[in-house]
């Protein structure tokens, strides 16, 4: 374990750098530094040698060139195990650099500002910093690389304990972290420039994704699986990634999946009347719209109280005391509650309930917006699927301007009977919900309440049967939404037998005419959307 004698410190994030530099100085280590870092250390009365004294050149090009010089990079890259490398340094009059402490220009925070210009973003692409980090990490057998202020204390303690050295095990760990640091940084730059220069290329040949760990999870879907929760930097749309947890124990892997499903569905109603969504195992088991939020909560829960117990609830309006009372009524229990905000008088009602208040997680997500365009990732074994988000919606002819979806799709009435205005309203409501049900997906709705759901079945008619069974008598006068076309007329026949009066479905089956004929024979109105909403 060789002793560290010379260190280069050049950091954008100056958290903890003064105590770290002071500790190194007290161990007799010569400190080199650049720009703002050098000035900060000098102000703290820590002796430091400016890099330009080592290179013999001043900073150039408004600071773009400071450390890109053989006197720096040869000192970092020389492999101390090779006599010829050390001889080359002596002949060039270059001293080795044994520790490099560098973190990079604040590109992430710069481009997160809504007013940032392209020129400013590009100026915050670090060149010298990543070069030094990669050089030191490559040569970790000889050089210690530190990119994270959280590692300062551990490095100092190890140096003190060993008489000024750092073990190979620690060097390797820090080197791996350093390469992850520069890869993460470059991925953010690539993502930003792709959005700026080629926004039409949603699925490029090489796709880089930057993810930052938000927390380790106790386990994954099952206790024997390890898991962690990662966020995409700079993502600002209301989401579980941007939510603030106000109360309750740590969210589990399955909680996060269900919370995401609940929030994504309730965002479909971001600009609608008060809406309550209840999710169980990523499928909706209760959805209701009402004039008052407490009523929406009660109607959604009573749609399927057995499934709702222990579920995840999401609301499109702030939770007040009256709504909190409904949520915590007798014989209820929810794992998580997601809402734009919570009033002060609602919080005690939600959190101090004797039996289960302490276990309720409260997630505040801010004002809701409709789902935005972008893409989603889905992991397979040894690979990843990438697709654009499913943001298409149907638009009612009288939809207010603030509720206009991303793409207008026209409904086509294919039966002899036209749906009534009331049926059309319920069809569009059910269509929003079925988009978020696992395929094969069927939703029955009546009076702005989802009264039956059939999800994830291997054949569509079984989903219809399950939805009708769940609805019971409430199926009479209900409408039905199907995420994909009906392959056979039996779906219509089962629905009509249960009392369904109108159906919305994509169309496109080779047996469409038989399906339409069955609807006409049974007096069921049917509309085609021309698009499907598979969710596997």
**CA–CA separation, 85 vs 407, rounded Å?**
63
Q: Which of 14, 85, 138, 177 is catalytic?
A: 138
Q: ∠328-433-239 over CA atoms, to 5°?
A: 65
Instruction: Indicate the SS3 state at residue 19.
Output: helix
281 catalytic? Reply is: yes
**CA–CA separation, 99 vs 112, rounded Å?**
32
398 catalytic? Reply is: no
Which residues face 245 on adjacent strands?
363
CB 159 within 8 A of CB 166: yes
**CA–CA separation, 520 vs 50, rounded Å?**
85
Which residues face 103 on adjacent strands?
11
3-state SS string over 283-347?
A: EEEEEEECCCHHHHHHHHHHHCHHHHCCEEEEECCCECHHHHHHHCCCCCCEEEEEECCECCCHH
Q: Which of 85, 177, 247, 281 is catalytic?
A: 281
Work out the burial of residue 281: count CB atoms within 10 Å of its CB; fewer than 13 is exposed, 13-18 middle, 19 or more buried. Answer: middle
**CA–CA separation, 7 vs 164, rounded Å?**
12
**How far from 283 is each of 139, 439, 467, CA to CA, in Å?**
51, 10, 13
Per DSSP, which regions of 49-90 are E strands?
49-50
Instruction: Indicate the SS3 state at residue 204.
Output: coil
**CA–CA separation, 100 vs 135, rounded Å?**
9
**How far from 341 is each of 246, 310, 346, 363, 493, CA to CA, in Å?**
10, 21, 10, 8, 44
Tokens found for residue 331? 């014989």
CB 482 within 8 A of CB 434: yes
Q: ∠118-120-124 over CA atoms, to 5°?
A: 115
Phi, psi of 32, deg, nearest 5? -110, 150
Contacts of 399 (CB under 8 A, 6+ apart): none
Percent of residues in the chain assigned helix, strand, coil, to nearest 5: 40, 20, 40
Q: Count CB-CB contacts under 10 A for residue 479.
A: 30
Phi, psi of 502, deg, nearest 5? -150, 150
What positions carry a catalytic annotation? 138, 281
């Amino acid at each position: 374990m060789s002793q560290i004698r010379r260190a280069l410190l050049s950091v954008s994030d100056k958290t903890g750098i003064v105590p770290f530099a002071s500790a190194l100085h007290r161990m007799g280590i010569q400190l080199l530094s650049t720009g703002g870092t050098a000035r900060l250390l000098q102000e703290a009365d820590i002796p430091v040698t400016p890099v330009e004294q080592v290179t013999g050149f001043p900073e150039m090009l408004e600071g773009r060139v400071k450390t890109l010089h053989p006197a720096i990079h040869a000192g970092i890259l020389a492999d101390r195990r090779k006599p010829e490398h050390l001889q080359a340094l002596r002949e060039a009059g270059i001293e080795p650099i044994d520790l490099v402490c560098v973190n990079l220009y604040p590109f992430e925070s710069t481009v997160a500002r809504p007013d940032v210009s392209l020129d400013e973003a590009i100026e915050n692409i670090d060149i010298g910093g990543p070069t030094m980090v990669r050089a030191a990490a490559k040569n970790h057998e000889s050089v210690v690389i530190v990119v994270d202020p959280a590692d300062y204390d551990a490095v100092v303690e190890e140096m003190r304990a060993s008489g000024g050295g750092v073990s190979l095990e620690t060097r390797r760990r820090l080197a791996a972290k350093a390469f992850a640091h520069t890869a993460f940084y470059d991925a953010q730059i690539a993502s930003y420039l792709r959005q700026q220069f080629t926004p039409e290329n949603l699925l490029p040949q090489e796709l880089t994704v930057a993810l930052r760990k938000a927390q380790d999870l106790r386990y994954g879907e099952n206790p024997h699986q390890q898991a962690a929760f990662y966020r995409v930097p700079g993502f600002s749309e209301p989401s579980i990634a941007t939510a603030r947890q106000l109360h309750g124990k740590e969210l589990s892997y399955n909680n996060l999946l269900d919370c995401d499903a609940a929030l994504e569905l309730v965002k479909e109603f971001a600009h609608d009347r008060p809406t309550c969504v209840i999710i169980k195992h990523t499928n909706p088991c209760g959805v209701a719209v009402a004039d008052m939020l407490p009523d929406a909560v009660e109607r959604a829960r009573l749609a399927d109280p057995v499934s709702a117990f222990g579920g995840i609830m999401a609301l499109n309006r702030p939770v007040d005391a009256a709504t909190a009372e409904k949520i915590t009524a007798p014989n209820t229990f929810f794992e998580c509650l997601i809402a734009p905000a919570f009033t002060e008088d609602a919080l005690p009602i939600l959190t101090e309930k004797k039996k289960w208040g302490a276990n309720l997680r409260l997630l505040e997500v801010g004002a809701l917006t409709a789902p935005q365009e972008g893409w989603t990732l889905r992991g397979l074994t040894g690979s990843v699927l990438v697709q654009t988000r499913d943001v298409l919606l149907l638009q009612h002819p009288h939809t207010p301007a603030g509720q206009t979806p991303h793409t207008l799709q026209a409904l086509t009435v294919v039966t002899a009977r036209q749906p009534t205005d009331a049926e059309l309203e319920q069809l569009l409501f059910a269509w929003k919900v079925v988009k978020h049900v696992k395929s094969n997906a069927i939703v029955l709705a009546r009076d702005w309440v989802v009264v039956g759901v059939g999800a994830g079945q291997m054949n569509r008619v079984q989903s219809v049967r399950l939805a009708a069974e769940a609805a019971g008598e409430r199926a009479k006068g209900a409408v039905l939404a199907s995420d994909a076309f009906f392959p056979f007329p039996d779906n219509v026949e089962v629905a009509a037998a249960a009392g369904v009066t109108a159906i919305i479905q994509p169309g496109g089956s080779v047996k469409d005419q038989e399906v339409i004929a069955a609807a006409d024979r049974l007096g069921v109105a049917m509309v085609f959307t021309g698009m499907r909403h598979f969710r596997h």
